[in-house]
Amino acid sequence: MQQLTDQPIPSAGQLTKATLIAIAVATVILVIAILPAEYDIDPTGIGGALGLTALNGSEPEPDIKPEDSATTGSAEGPVVSRVSGTFATHERTIVLPAYEGVELKADMASGQALVFSWSTDAGQNLFVDMHGEPHGAAADEFTSYWKEKQQSSGQGTFAAQFDGTHGWYWQNTGEEDVSINVQVSGFYNKIYQPE
């Protein structure tokens, strides 16, 4: 059996020396590694040479200049649009008879936007065409935004690119009546069903 010998207790001078060495090593690590990697502060240049400044993920701040346009932002960042008018919310249930079609339109100015959600009561599929036309357009002059042959619900956002009417055409291709529940919120002049 092996006996353990008593280890000597370090003296106050040895403890002080060990503490000072630990502080010095921690300071070197802080200056060379932690500050460049975490805070993009590199007083010695060693952190940059080691590639540690890339770890903090910061990028140079872009120059922010006030813009006079109604929309600010970019493809890489948020887009904010200032819109005149009153925020409105509209809910409607439309009963669509078998083999018939119906339209719901929003009269909108260019730049106005809305959020929409619609669904059929029992999950029945409909033919759907979300489209728009400028004011005074000919009967066959329109732009389709979203067209589906079999769809039971839809939701999203829409921003008008021109003054006109924008909305949905639903066609019931089944033998039973279908109820469509529609919710629209945003900026628009009015919501209506054309006659």
| Bridge partners of residue 116, in order along the sequence | 156, 184
* Cβ count within 10 A of residue 119: 17
More confident residue, 27 or 4: 27
Summarize pLDDT for 31-85 with one digit per residue, the tens.
888 888 887 888 888 877 877 777 766 555 444 444 444 555 556 666 777 777 7
Cα–Cα nearest to 168, from 81, 107, 84, 103: 103
pLDDT of residue 71: 52
Q: What percent of the chain has pLDDT over 90?
A: 51
Where does residue 93 rank: exposed (0-12), middle (13-18), buried (19+ CB within 10 A)? Answer: exposed
Cβ atoms of 132 and 167 within 8 Å: the answer is yes
Is the pLDDT at 13 greater than 70, yes or no?
yes
Neighbours of 92 (CB within 10 A): 14
Domain ranges in the chain?
Answer: 12-56, 87-192
Higher pLDDT, 77 or 180: 180
Select 87-192's CATH number: 2.60.120.680, 3.90.1300.10, 1.10.10.370, 3.40.50.2020: 2.60.120.680
How far apart, in whole angstroms, are the C-alpha atoms of residue 12 and residue 16?
6
Q: In terms of C-beta density within 10 A (0-12 exposed, 13-18 middle, 19 or more buried), how is residue 125 classed?
A: middle
pLDDT tens figures, 133-164? 999 888 888 888 889 999 999 999 999 999 99
Residue-level pLDDT at 67: 46
The dihedral sign for the CA sequence 96, 101, 107, 108: positive
Mean pLDDT over each residue of the chain, to the nearest integer:
84
pLDDT at residue 68, rounded to an integer: 45
pTM: 0.59
Q: Which residue has the higher pLDDT, 1 or 21?
A: 21
Residue carrying the six token digits 């092996």: 2
**102 and 175 Cβ atoms separated by less than 8 Å:** no
SS (H, E, C) 169-180: EEECCCCCCEEE
Backbone CA torsion sign across 61, 63, 64, 68: negative
Query: Mind listing the pLDDT tens digit for each residue in 88-128?
Result: 999 999 999 999 999 999 999 998 999 999 999 999 999 99
| Backbone CA torsion sign across 142, 144, 150, 154 | negative
Instruction: Tell me how far apart the alpha carbons of residues 116 and 31 are, in angstroms, rounded to a whole number.
Output: 54
d(CA 179, CA 90): 16
Q: Which residue has the tokens 């619609």?
A: 118
Contact 168, 111 (CB under 8 A): no
